[in-house]
Amino acid sequence: EVQLLESVGVWGGLVQPGESLRLSCAASGFTFSSYAMSWVRQIPGEGLEWVSAISASGGNTNYADSVKGRFTISRDNSKNTLYLQMSSLRVEDTAVYYCAKDHYGSGSYIFDCWGPGTLVTVSS
């Protein structure tokens, strides 16, 4: 069974504006190194926003304009883990963050499996 599970750093998901945070997504049940992956976020009660994607090898990345230059996506295929390093966090980055598996190996941007999500709150 394909499973994705997001987690946040040891300090939890509550940070102040300007601070940094790293999200992790542990994958199992499929050949992680063969699939592109993405992060998608959702402000509670609102719609979905794609944040970033990374190719299967990790050699290609893409970002939404709203996070470009502040967020960095990466992966460790030996650990079956996807990461999102978030810096210079803003109040408007407050959201539930989902990791999502690409339906095809290459970046099709069709998301066929999602983690349960992890809440990141940016507040002073």
Partner 1 sequence: DIQMTQSPSSLSASVGDGVTMTCRASQSISSFLNWYQQKPGKAPKLLISAASSLQSGVPSRFRGSGSGTEFTLTISSLHPEDFATYYCQQSYSIPAFGQGTKLEIK
69 binds partner 1 (CB under 8 A): no
Helix residue spans in 23-117 (DSSP H):
none
Selected from 38, 54, 86, 94, the binder of partner 1 by CB under 8 A is: 38
Q: Which of 14, 50, 70, 77 binds partner 1 (CB under 8 A)?
A: 50
Stretch that binds partner 1, among 17-25, 26-34, 43-51, 82-90 (CB under 8 A): 43-51
From 8-16, 25-33, 44-52, 71-79, give the range in contact with partner 1 by CB under 8 A.
44-52
Q: State which of residues 39, 71, 83, 98 lies at the interface with partner 1 (CB under 8 A).
A: 98
Conformation bin of residue 55: beta by default, left when phi > 0, alpha when psi is -120 to 50: beta
For residue 58, which of 79, 40, 41 has the smallest C-alpha distance? 79
Binding-site member from 35, 81, 115, 120 for partner 1 (CB under 8 A): 115
Name 8's Cβ contacts closer than 8 Å, sequence gap at least 6: 21, 22, 23, 24, 118, 120
Residue 33 to residue 37: CA distance in whole angstroms: 10
Which residues of the chain form contacts with partner 1 (CB under 8 A)? 38, 47-50, 53, 62, 64, 98, 103, 108-117
